[in-house]
Amino acid sequence: MISVSIILQVKMGVQKTIRKVAIIGGGPKGIYAFERLAAWFKVKPPSERTEIHIFNRSDSFGAGENYSIGQPAWLLINNPVGDVNMWAEEMPPPVIPHPLSLTEWVCRNENLYVTDYDYISRAMVGRYLVNGFTLIASNLPEKVVGKYIVGEVTDIYIDSGKYTLCMKSGGDEKKHLTDLYDHVLLATGHPKNRATEDQLRYQSFAGEPQSAGYIPFVYPAEKVFKDLPPGCSVGIKGIGLTFVDAVLALTEGKGGLFLRNEKTGKIVYTPSGNEPKVIYPFSRSGLPMLPRRSVPGKKISLKFFTKSAIQMMQNEGKIDFKQQLWPLLKQEMIYAYYDTVMKEAELPEGLAGSVDIEDIQRAVAKYHKKYPAMRRFDPETFLEPLQKKDSFNDQTFHQYVQSQYNFYLKEARKGELKSPLAAVTAVWRKASPLFCEIYSFGGLTPESQRHFDHSFRGKLNRVTFGPPVESAEKIAVLMESGVLNFETARNPKLSLDEKTGSFILESGHNSNRNSVQYLVDARIPRMSLTNDRSSLFRNLLDRELITIFENRSGQETYKTGAVNITPGGFVIDREGNVNPGIAVTGTPTEGITFDNDTLSRNRNNFVDSWAEYISKEYAKSEIEHYAN
């Protein structure tokens, strides 16, 4: 990859450079911006030699850290293959002649047949992204040169309308000044937040000459657990997607084998002897994410959570999620559940003839009269199954979690067209694109956005964006074998035992008390500029080149932690001025936008308009040159 840059610079070295663009972050979002710049420069060639400099903390240009090609094959993406296409579908077309979607590329290059509904390894996705980056770098338009720099950018200075970047390379803490740039794009990816008081306490405790160990971040998963001794006990804080990666790193990554029994079709785990004796997950809810599976077939579209319904609400101002949107989502869940249930009960029309919620309620009442033994579906209980204290009185909490997980795994295998509950889990996935439009740039009332971010969001994500069935089957068999133990999973008290040098998990609803030698934090930090420990955002905030977005309405204010930007992606300074020289994309905008999926080309897409703006500006300089 770097050699491409060198060859192009030698080839065009005699030309004078008057234009330079910097992209900070060489992962998917940064490379999508690179692709759009190249495409726009091809249809609107710059008047003078132009350089695009991409800065990345490692030499993994294209893949970034999340999709590093060195990851083991058991780390899967959490979206079906068909969701990923690094090539923009809008005009202008990519600079390469025959762009391939991820599905097409894997079938052609990996000696593997996959469909749009399959899940593959992150490393394979990484190879696709790296290949795409290399193709773009090799097909840059005339007068455009790429340069790819490994190192961390720590600051940006403005001088006479140009931008100078400070960076450190490798372990060198000394700052190096780079060239002058006309435009800078921040595509820095996930934040690395400063340690909390509790985290500092855990680090200090683990640093003492005792048996305890603390792992504050699970990636790279294939490396961070290598020193954990066989037979130890591990506590994992957080039971989301990162938890799944951590568990697989501690089992499969330690040499354990998951093999499918050809006769029964069940997955069987054969331990290596190098894995922990027991892993204790825990979180506030104590509940793992529900498995998911994408299946072919015509999907049912949403009936109530629609653009027309939302526009009527928006005409009256900001929207209250709980009062206005949640009722619509509940109606969608009820419709999805009973439409599928009725079709499976040999009522082929399902709820297709229902016009409104009253029609649906009548049809549901009729169904339950015919099938009185069937339990009524309740969206509130589905989202929060442990609202009642007696939810699992006849079981231990581990037994409850295991039985529920196996049940939802069975439903996920059926898919949303056959399973009523899988159909319900698909509702939020279908609603999310429209919700993105509502949420962005303060579309919710401040208090409503706060409530959604801190309460509803996690619950909806838990039932919607869980691990693929392939990974979930492994989690299920580890529960059955006893390697995974959920006895103290639900909001336990976490304390330090100085005598034994271990962490203690104490359940709040039973008398269980577990001693843990190693504590792992398997949570991805929420975007917060004030908590981000990276020098870059801290310095930009200190000098007021960027600000934090605040959702305001009357006396209500909610500060989200995201970078304050315009709908075009350009930053807004302390004085409220828009700076078209610095733009932001991806995770740093989370809170002013919603759901910045790393691999998505379309969701919260700022880079296309950004690239078009730059191409027009650079082409315009030629007209100005001749006019003078």
For residue 598, the model assigns a pLDDT of 87
pLDDT at 129: 98
Decide the pairing of beta strands 278-282 and 233-237.
Answer: parallel
Helix (H, G, I), strand (E, B) or coil at 435: helix
What is the per-residue pLDDT across 48-89, written as a single tens digit (0 to 9) for each? 999 999 999 999 999 998 899 999 999 999 999 999 999 988
* Distance between CA atoms of residues 105 and 112, nearest Å: 10
Contact 562, 436 (CB under 8 A): no
52 neighbors 21 (Cβ within 8 angstroms): yes
- pLDDT confidence band for 10 (50 / 70 / 90): very low
Could you tell me the fold of the domain covering 197-289+468-521? FAD/NAD(P)-binding domain (3.50.50)
**CA separation for the pair 221, 223 (Å, rounded):** 5
Q: Exposed, middle or buried: residue 229 (CB in 10 Å: 0-12, 13-18, 19+)?
A: exposed
Residue extents of the structural domains in the chain: 2-10+17-192+528-627, 197-289+468-521, 307-464
% pLDDT > 70, the chain: 93
Residue 4 has pLDDT above 70, yes or no: no
Same fold, 2-10+17-192+528-627 and 197-289+468-521: yes
Confidence band of 159 (pLDDT split at 50, 70, 90): confident
Closest to 415 (Cα-Cα) out of 306, 298, 333, 303: 298
DSSP 484: B
pLDDT digits (tens, 9 = 90+) for 170-213: 555 556 777 899 999 999 987 777 888 999 999 989 877 667 89
Confidence at residue 391, expressed as pLDDT on a 0 to 100 scale: 65
pLDDT class for 533, splitting at 50, 70, 90?
confident
Closest-CA residue to 601 (of 130, 141, 101): 101
- Architecture in CATH of 2-10+17-192+528-627: 3-Layer(bba) Sandwich (3.50)
